[in-house]
Amino acid sequence: MTNKPKIKRPSVEQGLFKRREPFLFMLWTAIAGISIMFLALTIIYSLRKGQHQWQAVSLPLAFWLSTFSIITSSLTLWQTNQAVKKEQFRRAKILLGTTLGLGLLFIGLQVVGWQQLIAQKVYLSNSLGGSFIYIISGLHIAHILGGILFLTLIFIDIARHTSYVDSFIHSINPPNQLRLKLVTIYWHFVDVLWLYLFLFFLWA
C-alpha cells in the first residue's frame, strides 16, 4: 500500500484566500464613493473661485471649535476600543458616551457656524463661495448623522450590560466586535474628511 503524497492546502487566512468580511468591503466601497463626491465638490469650488459672482467668506469661529470637537471624538473612540481590549468596560461606556456627545456637539457648532455666516449676511442666494460652504458642510453633517446613529445603537447595546460577565461575553461576540470596528473606521473617516474640508476652506 502506497502512501499518497499530502497536498498542503493554503490557509484561508493567507493571501488571496483570506476570508473577506462583506460588511467591511461595503464600508470601504462607501468611503471611496463619499471621498470621490467631496473631492469633486472641492474641485468645482476651486474652478468657480474668482468668478465675478464670487465673494470671499471668512470661516466662522464655530467651525474652528467644531474641528476641535470632532478630533477629540476620534481620540475618545480610539480609547474606547483600547478600554474594551483591556476589559475596562465601565471606562469604555463612558468614553463611548463621550464620543457620542462630542459628535452631537460638532453638529451643534456647525449650526452655530451657519448662524454666524447669516450674521455676516452670507446666504445661499447672494454668495457663491458661501453657498459652497453651506452645501459641503451640510453634506458632511448628513454623514456625521449616520455615524451618530450607529454610535447610539452600540452605546445602548453595551450600556444594558451592567455586570462584568455580561460585558465580557458581549465584547468577545464576533458580530459585536465587527460593529465596533466598522463604526470606528467610519468615524475616523468622517473626522479626516472634515479636516480635509476645513483646511481646504482655509486655503481657498
Tens digit of pLDDT for each residue in 48-84?
776 666 666 778 899 999 999 999 999 999 999 999 9
Distance of CA 68 to the CA centre of its chain: 14
Give the amino acid at 120.
Answer: Q
Per-residue pLDDT of the chain (204 residues; tens, 9 = 90+): 455 444 444 443 444 344 557 888 999 999 999 999 999 999 988 887 766 666 667 788 999 999 999 999 999 999 999 999 999 999 999 999 999 999 999 999 999 999 999 998 887 777 777 888 899 999 999 999 999 999 999 999 998 888 888 888 888 888 889 999 999 999 999 999 999 999 998 887
Taking CB atoms within 8 Å and a gap of at least 24, the contacts of 51-57 are 51/128, 53/128, 54/128, 54/129, 55/122, 55/126, 55/127, 55/128, 55/129, 55/130, 56/129, 57/117, 57/120, 57/122, 57/127, 57/129, 57/130, 57/133
Cell of 118: 447669516
pTM of the entire predicted model? 0.85
Burial-class residue 31 by CB neighbours within 10 Å (0-12, 13-18, 19+). Answer: middle
59-203: in CATH 3.30.70.2190: no
Q: Are 31 and 193 in contact (CB under 8 A)?
A: no
